[in-house]
Amino acid sequence: MIPPDPESASPTLSCPLPFSDYDRVVLAHGGGGRVMRRLIRDLFVREFGGDELRRGHDGAVLRPQGPIALTTDAFTVSPRRFPGGDIGSLAVHGTVNDLAMCGARPIALAASFILEEGLPLDELAALVASMAAAARACAVEIATGDTKVVERGSGDGIYITTTGVGELLRAEPIGPERLRPGDAILLSGPVGDHGVAVIAAREGLTFEPPLRSDAASVVAPALALIEAGLDVRCLRDPTRGGLASALAEIACDAGLGMTIEEAAVPIEAAVDDACELLGLDPLYVACEGRFIAFVPARDAAEALTILRREGCPSAARIGEVGERGPTFASGGEVILVAATGGQRRLDLLSGEQLPRIC
């Protein structure tokens, strides 16, 4: 970040865009000069606040009280606004959720913006304000960042990359390597909402009832499981590739099989109908406000009680981890048991079912 320029400081203006003489992003907004300084000082620093960001250094100095987790993610969602969120709030929620899946409480974020020449500055301001509001709601500071501008036609308005650091709540790792046969598989809520909401907005489709993304922070319910002293084996948010892909990845990494009861997986009727119309499998459609938790079977009932208390009323036990054996001969297989009794394997997709959804 570039520090504030005291010589060009001016009182707050009544103009809705006090940070620029332009109404659209121009190359000078990434050129390191006065125009860029004003954009950073009067938009990003103003909205994100925080002592570290105001220092104007090239990085933030963080002083966590214990071991930290680090994650980074890029966001290119199209359209930039969708029912239930936008690229700004999504950049915050996606990153704090990744930290929570590590068993870490978010401390701070760094944000990098790639802006395309011609992006309306009032739209940029609205997206930054949304991002700032999401950060405040998640009690996380956007502490440092970077801004670049590319020529018109070289991007799609705005891309955002966020890096997050968080304080681990316990020393034991949380990951696929800790899975054991018999572990319960829990899901915090209905799947597929985000992906179908974004594709409907992109294609101008209208559904009744209206589709809305589930994009939100899952930090509170995820960390509540750990703080309750439960032996949380693994956590994962089913983003790109959805529930099925997340389970398949974890099963492969753990070298163990899984059995999922199709009837137990919560799916909103509107999402199910939209997927049928669009030819999509809701189990492979991205979520941005849900997560999977693996716990010992003895902890499953208590874990569900905690999740429902922490704002996940549709949380459900959807299956269990299996042994290697005749059903899972090679390990790493996920078997979906249909309500009719039939079975099918949930595997990783060979490509991307829905591009540009996060």
Residue percentage of the chain with pLDDT more than 70: 87
The reported pLDDT for the residue numbered 339 is: 85
Cross-strand partners of 187: 292, 316
Domain boundary among 121, 136, 168: 168
Confidence category of residue 95, pLDDT binned at 50, 70, 90:
very high
157, 200: one domain: no
The reported pLDDT for the residue numbered 41 is: 84
Q: Which structural domain, as residue segments, surrounds residue 187?
A: 176-346
The reported pLDDT for the residue numbered 10 is: 37
Report helix, strand or coil for 68.
strand
13, 52: one domain: yes
247, 164: one domain: no
Tokens 């590590």 sit at which residue? 102
Q: Which two tokens stand for residue 233?
A: 């084996």
More confident residue, 57 or 190: 190
271-304 confidence digits (pLDDT tens): 999 999 999 999 999 999 999 999 999 999 999 9
Asked if residue 353 is part of any domain, the answer here is no
313-329 confidence digits (pLDDT tens): 999 999 999 976 545 55
158, 136: one domain: yes
* pLDDT at 13 exceeding the cut of 60: no
185, 332: one domain: yes
The predicted model gives 180-191 an average pLDDT of: 98
98-137 confidence digits (pLDDT tens): 999 999 999 999 999 999 999 999 999 999 999 999 999 9
125, 37: one domain: yes
Report the mean per-residue pLDDT for the chain: 89
* pLDDT at 52 exceeding the cut of 80: no
Asked if residue 351 is part of any domain, the answer here is no
Confidence category of residue 2, pLDDT binned at 50, 70, 90:
very low
At position 162, the amino acid (one-letter code) is T
More confident residue, 332 or 119: 119
139, 182: one domain: no
The reported pLDDT for the residue numbered 21 is: 76
Confidence category of residue 6, pLDDT binned at 50, 70, 90:
very low
- Nearest CA to 345 out of 334, 337, 329, 330 is that of 334
Confidence category of residue 65, pLDDT binned at 50, 70, 90:
low
Asked if residue 258 is part of any domain, the answer here is yes
280, 308: one domain: yes
Asked if residue 109 is part of any domain, the answer here is yes
13, 89: one domain: yes
C-alpha R_g of the chain:
22
The reported pLDDT for the residue numbered 327 is: 56
Tokens 């492979």 sit at which residue? 284
Domain boundary among 114, 146, 168: 168
Q: Which two tokens stand for residue 161?
A: 């990359």
| CA 171/CA 142 separation, integer angstroms | 26
Residue 10 · residue 109 · CB < 8 Å: no
Query: Dihedrals φ, ψ of 147, to 5°?
Result: -135, 130
The reported pLDDT for the residue numbered 330 is: 55
* Count of the separate structural domains present in the chain: 2
The reported pLDDT for the residue numbered 8 is: 40
* pLDDT at 160 exceeding the cut of 70: yes
Asked if residue 98 is part of any domain, the answer here is yes
Cross-strand partners of 57: none
More confident residue, 30 or 217: 217
The predicted model gives 12-27 an average pLDDT of: 67
120, 206: one domain: no
Asked if residue 357 is part of any domain, the answer here is no
The reported pLDDT for the residue numbered 350 is: 67
* pLDDT at 147 exceeding the cut of 60: yes
312, 342: one domain: yes
Domain boundary among 123, 146, 168: 168
